Amino acid sequence: MFREIDAECYIMTDGDDTYPAEYAREMADLVLNKNADMVVGDRLSSTYYTENKRPFHNFGNTVVRKSINLLFKNDIKDVMTGYRAFGYNFAKTFPVLSHGFEIETEMTIHAVDKNMHVENVVIDYRDRPAGSESKLNTYSDGFKVLKTIVRLYKNYKPQQFFSFLSLVLVIIAAAFVIPVFVEYFNTGLVPRIPTLIVCGFVVLSAIQAYFSGLILSTIVQKNRQDFEYRLIEAENRFKQSIND
């Protein structure tokens, strides 16, 4: 959606009259004058919890925001907001891979992971007009968003993800193999040989997961270096378009 248009600032908003248009100027100013790469229209710090009449949506927003801030070590105030402003560099380097409500999550994680300048603007939120219907399904779309967080955490933080997976596998193997060793030390017998064999394979899987994380983290680091070059190319294209 960004590749067709060249602009200094892009404004994204939902078309359901829940986001006041008057905040667009302030958000655009942060992009144009303060060099912000992405400006987030923060509903959660103002009227969202009083205006929104769907309690599961409130709960889902809180879970998603806290999960991303915990996993990616940031303090984004509103992850799922549909009101945002973007600079040229963000628009031209963001890979659009999602097709539904996961797109906001992907935008946020991309900006955080690439150390982009993110600003928050507190906005007033109003509930949907009477008679309108939301395309958002609380449960199915909420599950997709959580699935997207896990997928992006694996892609952006592979060493942490696979190290955690490795630890879980080691704990599972230990829980089953310790009784086998206790019985061996007490009786000198190993009656549960299949359990011992399976635990051995689980430990091998844990080792494989750990080293997979190390290898993938090296690839991610190389991708970050390449991303910096793409940023320079985007800036040069932007300057060229201004001069032309």
- The tens digit of pLDDT for each residue in 165-207 reads 999 999 999 999 999 999 988 888 888 899 999 999 999 999 9
Query: Is the predicted pLDDT of residue 99 greater than 80, yes or no?
Result: no
**pLDDT number for residue 238:** 72
**What is the Cα–Cα distance from 112 to 157, expressed in whole angstroms?**
12
Model pLDDT for residues 121-162, shown as the tens digit of each residue = 999 887 776 666 666 666 677 788 888 889 889 999 999 999
Q: What is the pLDDT of residue 86?
A: 95
Dihedral sign of CA atoms 86, 52, 17, 125 in order? negative
- What is the rounded CA–CA span in Å between residue 110 and residue 115? 9
Yes or no: say if 34 and 129 are a contact pair by the CB < 8 Å rule. Answer: no
SS3 39: strand
Q: What is the pTM of this model?
A: 0.77
What's the whole-number mean pLDDT along residues 223-230? 85
Q: Residue 119: in which H helix or E strand, if any?
A: strand 118-122
Domain ranges of the chain: 9-156, 158-243
Predicted confidence at residue 137, as pLDDT, reads 65
User: Percent of the chain scored above 70 by pLDDT?
Assistant: 91
Q: Which fold has domain 9-156?
A: Spore Coat Polysaccharide Biosynthesis Protein SpsA; Chain A (3.90.550)
Which pLDDT score, from 0 to 100, does residue 42 have? 92
| pLDDT higher than 70, residue 38 | yes
